[in-house]
Amino acid sequence: MTAHTQGRVIPDRLTSPLARALRSWEALLLLVAVAIFIANSFASPYFLDPWNLSDASFNFTEKAMIAFAMAMLIIAGDIDLSVASIIALASTVMGAAALAGADVPVLVGLGLGTGLLCGAFNGLLVAGFGLPSIVVTIGTMSLFRGISYIVLGDQAYTEYPKGFGYFGQGYVWWVFSFELVLFAVMAVVFGLLLHKTNFGRATYAIGNNATAARFSGIRVDRIRFILFLLTGLCSGIAAVCLTSRLGSTRPSIGTGYELEVVTMVVLGGVNILGGSGSIHGVVIAAFVMGLVTFGLGLLNVPGIVMSIIIGLLLIGVIALPRLWRMWRK
Amino acid sequence: MTPVLSLRDIQKSFPGVKALAGVQLDLYPGQVTALIGENGAGKSTIVKILTGIYQPDGGTIAVEGRETRFPTAQAASDAGVTAIHQETVLFDELTVAENIFIGHAPKGRFGLIDRKAMEAQAKALLASIHADLEPHARLRDLGIASKHLVAIARALSIDARVVIMDEPTAALSHKEIQELYDLVATLKAKGKAILFISHKFDEIFRIADRYTVFRDGQFVGEGAMADVNEGQLVQMMVGRSVDQIYPKRPAQIGAPVLTVTGYSHPTEFADVGFTLHQGEILGFYGLVGAGRSEVMQALFGITKPSHGAVKIGDEVRVIRSTAQAVAAGIVYVPEDRGKQGAVKGLPIYQNVTLPSLGRTSKGGFLRMAQEFALAREYTQRLDLRAASLDQDVGLLSGGNQQKVVIAKWLATKPRVIILDEPTKGIDIGSKAAVHDFMSELAAQGLAVIMVSSEIPEVLGMADRVIVMREGRIAAEFAGDAMTPENLVRAAVGIEGEAA
């Protein structure tokens, strides 16, 4: 540790980023996706129809929009289980406003705003008061949806203005729905945010060791708060799309989405304990989940069997590398 | 005299490393054997073999002349070998008595634990080592020193013949260390064989009867402490003579860089004030718990002081976060390297650039080429040993992780660098390198604060020493007044000048 003698030269990298990518989790997952795609196209003659594939994308687009922000949140070592309840609350707010005669821009603003407020509430409790995120968001999961139930009971909002249907039912060009395009845009935005910015780097640092990150001059609590805000915002976006697609709001809207979102994130290779993962992994995982659901749907497999298969897929893909290593020993 | 425990030609390899290449070790009843060696010499590996955690690849273990094996931790414990670790492995949520008797509690009817008998026996054991602890107290409410006592009582309860003490004094205060020495004497009198591992030479010379030296996984020598001196032991450890452990170079002491006045915290420290100059190494000495680290962490924006002002140069700076401290030019190399230092899981270059991302990035976007350039420059300056800059910091040795942390801070071009126990737990060779580097930094005009509990280090490196006691500055010494006696007197609160 001497300053006057020049230390030996340390190479920047030993493995090129490409070689690393080829051996990564994401590469394995991509193979799985391709395999499922091929299997599906043999299993059903309707699978390769572009319009059918486009329809199938609605299976995952809304969940994936939340999954991008959730991935960053989980990489930073937190989690938000209230996302589906944020959808319910945001949808309820929009429904009530629509009933009162609000037009489309106001509805969208309210949906996103509700998402941001819910995210801020979670973030304040977690980053501001230092409460564990899993407990806080289990609480707000009941709280947010509970408000919807109080407002709506067994009623539903079904009166939405005409133009509002575009977000969930409109097409930008040919088979490319508004949701699919938004999914792609958000994938790029979040990919850049996580992998190419200082903010993303800080997210990884916090997830690996929050104390050391703080001792390195990173504003840990501010970044955690912003991540909750982003997750809330994305839930608001998903609420706009889902409400628009269904054309109605019931308090049970989006029930169970939080677990599917977390499944997507974990399947995408994000460490549930934080510290590692990627947005492209989540993108591929979204396709894998969408393809499996769609393929099984074409084969008339009932929904409950589908969720069993998704569960087995998650366990299988995660256990596979470990089993492989054990077998080679 | 025949040894209680005798190891011969012990071999142990890990993927890519030969940790032990045929070492030997003998422990005698009623004697303290010091195991000495630099970090990486194989001390912890031998402890893990003795406690049944690792299995040797070759060699023999004999207990009282009979060859045996320790396939499990339980087997080692049954053979009467027990270890008291640096961070004691006990159960925080259980009581003192439960900790002492876990695994061999006295049983009553129906095979249930006989609580009364257990607590009575625990009381007797604790009394035999003069430990004033309640058997039903919860362990988490006790200090580290008391936990050591519990661990020792546990060792006695299983009638251990061999007690391994791995850096037992590392986290103890002055008074607690004295008590530990008394305890070692008690154990000796009971005929226990003690293996004592420590980096502190004064301690080894004080309590050990015999020594065994390892170097790079090999046995170098053994003998009676009475037959060696410090220089000979150091030479055995490092394989060369370390002439200058404290290579303090004369530095040009310049203008004040950091002025702290009336610095107070509701519970940790009060009315701390000092001035630090350019090119100066200012030592902070005191007992554990005197509030030194707390003052430094407040200066670094980790904890918030209630009163007081900080001036950098002539400018008053408000520091309420680490980011503000770094911006003001104050950086802190923490004592707890594992938890607060390096971000394990991130590659080396990302660790180095973490506080400097504002400079290497553009418009919030990362620029890899600039990051690698910065990391390359500073890791080379610190002579880091690593396979590549893309390597996970967690895979580096402790000393190299420390280098990454220091490189990270130097890359921010600080004005004040605070080093909190910079050489704690690192071997003598690396120690000299850290000291050399500190000297170099001061010579280059940086202002250095060194918090240290080792008197030779403080006296050898610092231009000036501030002694803290119970959250306040007790005394300040410079020049000829910097003597071990003065420092200790001020730290423990004895009035009057030493002769």
H-helix or E-strand spanning residue B437: helix B428-443
Q: What gap in Å lies between CA B89 and CA B99, rounded to an integer?
A: 10
pTM for this entry = 0.78
Tell whether B86 is covered by a domain: yes
Q: Distance between CA B278 and CA B257 in Å, rounded?
A: 6
Residue B24: strand, helix, or coil: strand
**CA dist., res. A69 & res. A257, Å (int):** 14
| Å between A31 CA and nearest CA of chain B | 27
Tell which residue, A157, A162, A149, has the closest CA to residue A96. A157
User: B348 near B404, Cβ under 8 Å?
Assistant: yes
CATH number of the A47-319 domain: 1.10.3470
Across the interface, do A4 and B440 touch by the CB < 8 Å criterion?
A: yes
pLDDT at B336 over 90: no
Separation of alpha carbons B27 and B80, rounded Å: 13
Does the pLDDT value for residue A251 go beyond 50? yes
CA distance B449 to B160: 44
Residue identified by tokens 């020495």 is B181
Is 70 exceeded by the pLDDT of residue B496? no
Q: Are residues B141 and B272 in the same domain?
A: no
Q: Do A198 and B357 touch (CB under 8 A)?
A: yes
Task: Specify the 3-state DSSP secondary structure of B169.
Answer: coil
Decide if pLDDT at B87 tops 70. no
Q: Is B355 among the domain residues?
A: yes
> Does residue B406 share a domain with residue B302?
yes
Do B32 and B144 share a domain, yes or no? Answer: yes
The alpha carbon dihedral of B198, B203, B205, B206 has a sign of negative
Q: List pLDDT tens digits, range A43-66.
A: 888 888 899 889 889 989 999 999
**C-beta atoms of B343 and A205 within 8 A:** yes
Work out the percent of chain A whose per-residue pLDDT is above 90: 70
Residues 6 or more apart whose CB falls under 8 angstroms from that of A322 comprise none
Does A3 contact B381 at a Cβ distance shorter than 8 Å? yes
Same domain, B221 and B291: no
Question: For residue A22, what pLDDT is reported?
Answer: 81
For the segment A257-262, the average pLDDT, to the nearest whole number, is 92
From A1, A201, A212, residue closest to B342, measured CB to CB: A212
Smallest CA–CA distance from A7 into chain B, residue: B383
Pairing of strands B464-469, B281-286: parallel
Q: Which of A4, A12, A199 sits opposite B389 (nearest CB)?
A: A12
Q: What is the gyration radius of the CA atoms in chain B, in angstroms?
A: 25
pLDDT band at A233 (very low <50, low <70, confident <90, very high): very high
CATH (domain of B458): 3.40.50.300
Q: Which of B238, B270, B291 is a domain's end point?
A: B238
The neighbour count for residue B66, using CB atoms within 10 Å, is 9
Residue written as token pair 């200082």:
A198
Q: Verify whether the Cβ–Cβ distance B387 to A10 is below 8 Å.
A: yes
Of the pLDDT bands very low, low, confident and very high (cuts 50, 70, 90), residue A2 is very low
Are the Cβ atoms of A1 and B364 closer than 8 angstroms?
no
Domain ranges of chain A: 47-319
Of the candidates A299, A169, A150, A146, the residue with the CA atom closest to the CA atom of residue A247: A169
Residue B249 to chain A, least CA–CA distance (Å): 13
Q: Is B477 helix (H, G, I), strand (E, B) or coil?
A: strand
Is pLDDT of B436 > 90?
A: no
Rounded average pLDDT over B189-204: 87
∠ CA B174-B178-B182, nearest 5°, is 165
CB contact under 8 A, B403 and A212: no
Interchain contact, B345 vs A276, CB within 8 Å = yes
Nearest CB to B340 within list A3, A196, A215: A215
* pLDDT at A17 (0 to 100): 83
Q: Which residues pair with B27 in a beta bridge?
A: B5
Q: Do B383 and A2 touch (CB under 8 A)?
A: yes
| Residue from A1, A207, A5 nearest B419 by CA | A1
Question: Is a pLDDT exceeding 60 seen at residue B242?
Answer: no
What are the strands, taking DSSP E only, across A50-142? Answer: none
Contact check, Cβ <8 Å, A216/B433: no
Q: B438: distance to nearest CA of chain A, Å?
A: 9
Q: Residue A313 — pLDDT band, cuts 50, 70, 90?
A: confident
Determine the residue among B351, B357, B403 to mutate to test chain A binding: the one whose Cβ has the most chain A Cβ atoms within 10 Å.
Answer: B357
Last residue within a domain, chosen from B206, B238, B270: B238
Q: Which of B204, B238, B272 is the last residue of a domain?
A: B238
- Sequence letter at residue A26: E
Ranges A70-74, A302-306, B49-53, B207-211: which has the least confidence: A302-306
Verify that B106 and B197 share a domain, yes or no. yes
Task: Say whether both B90 and B165 belong to one domain.
Answer: yes
**CA angle at A67 for the pair A63 and A72, rounded to the nearest 5°:** 165
Q: Determine, yes or no, domain membership for B35.
A: yes
Q: Which of A6, A12, A195 has the most B C-beta neighbours within 10 Å, making it the best mutation to test the interface with B? A: A12
Tell me the residues of A at the B interface, defined by beta carbons under 8 Å apart: 1-15, 192, 196-202, 204-205, 207-209, 211-219, 275-276
Cβ contact, residue pair A209, B441, below 8 Å: no
Task: Give the rounded percent of residues in chain B with a pLDDT score beyond 90.
Answer: 43
In a domain, B249, yes or no: no
Q: Of the candidates B106, B111, B164, which has an alpha carbon nearest to the alpha carbon of residue B135?
A: B106
Segment B439-460 shows an average pLDDT of 89
Residues of A in contact with B339 (CB under 8 A): 209, 211-212
- The CA distance from B172 to the nearest CA of chain A, in Å, is 24
Residue B86 banded pLDDT, cuts 50, 70, 90: low
Cα distances from B77 to residues A43, B51, B157, B166, in angstroms, run: 62, 7, 11, 16
Q: How confident is the model at residue A189 (pLDDT cuts 50, 70, 90)?
A: very high
Q: Do B388 and A204 touch (CB under 8 A)?
A: no
Asked whether the CA dihedral B224, B226, B227, B228 is positive or negative, the reply is positive
Q: Higher confidence at residue B85 or residue A28?
A: A28
Nearest chain B residue to A17, by CA: B390
Q: Which two tokens stand for residue A278?
A: 């990627």
The confidence score (pLDDT) of residue B40 equals 66
Contacts across the A-B interface (CB distance below 8 Å)? 139
Mean pLDDT estimate for chain A: 91
Asked if B85 and B171 sit in the same domain, the reply is yes
B388–A11 C-beta distance less than 8 A: yes
Q: Which residue has the higher pLDDT, B432 or B22?
A: B22
Query: Whole-angstrom distance between the N-terminal and C-terminal Cα of chain A?
Result: 39
CA distance B113 to chain A (A): 36
Are A217 and B355 an interchain contact pair (Cβ–Cβ within 8 Å)? yes
* Distance between CA atoms of residues A284 and A274, nearest Å: 19
Q: How many helices, marked H, and strands, marked E, lie in chain A?
A: 15, 2
Q: Are B282 and B464 in contact (CB under 8 A)?
A: yes
Distance from CA of B333 to the nearest CA of A (A): 9
Answer whether B440 sits within 8 Å of A2, measured CB to CB.
yes
Q: Do B91 and B174 belong to one domain?
A: yes
Of B72 and B330, more confident = B330
Domain count, chain B: 2
Same domain, B332 and B292: yes
| Chain center to CA of A316 | 21
Domain that holds residue B350: 256-492
Nearest-by-Cβ selection for B343 from A1, A197, A213: A213
Q: Which of A51-55, A282-286, A300-304, B85-89 has the lowest mean pLDDT?
A: B85-89
| Residue of B300, B302, B321, B343 to mutate for A, most A C-beta atoms under 10 A | B343
Q: Nearest-5° angle of CA A90, CA A92, CA A94?
A: 70
- B172 in Cβ contact with B288 (< 8 Å): yes
Q: Which two tokens stand for residue A139?
A: 């609480």
B498 confidence band (pLDDT: 50, 70, 90): very low
DSSP B136: T
Is residue B246 in some structural domain? no
Length of chain B: 499
Query: Sign of the CA dihedral A243, A246, A248, A254?
Result: negative
Least confident of A21-25, A90-94, B93-97, B120-124: A21-25
Give the neighbor-by-neighbor strand order of the sheet with B193-197: B81-84, B162-166, B193-197, B32-36, B210-215, B218-224
Helix (H, G, I), strand (E, B) or coil at A232: helix
Lowest mean pLDDT among A34-43, A126-135, B136-145, B299-308: B136-145
B191 is a domain residue: yes
Give the nearest partner residue to A3 out of B302, B355, B437, using CB atoms. B437
Please indicate, yes or no, whether residues B181 and B54 belong to a single structural domain of this protein.
yes
Residues A208, B380: C-beta atoms closer than 8 Å: no
Phi-psi region of B223 (alpha: psi -120 to 50; beta: other; left: phi over 0): left
Measured between CB atoms, which of A4, A198, A275 is closest to B366?
A198
Q: Is the domain of B234 the same as that of B280?
A: no
Share of chain B above pLDDT 70, in %: 94
What distance in Å separates the CA atoms of residue B422 and residue B444, rounded to the nearest whole number? 19
For A76-123, what is each residue's pLDDT tens digit?
999 999 999 999 999 999 999 999 999 999 999 999 999 999 999 999
Question: What distance in Å separates residue B339's CA from the closest CA in chain A?
Answer: 6
Q: Measured in Å, how far apart are chain B's first and last C-alpha atoms?
A: 45
Find, in chain A, the residue whose alpha carbon is nearest to that of B345.
Answer: A208
B139 and B268 co-located in one domain: no
B344, B365, B430 member nearest A208 (Cβ): B344
Nearest chain B Cα to A20, which residue?
Answer: B390
- Return the higher-pLDDT residue of B358 and B230: B358
Pair of tokens at residue A93 = 């707010």
Spell out which residues of chain B touch residue A218, defining contact as CB-CB under 8 Å.
322-323, 354-355
pLDDT of the residue at B499: 37
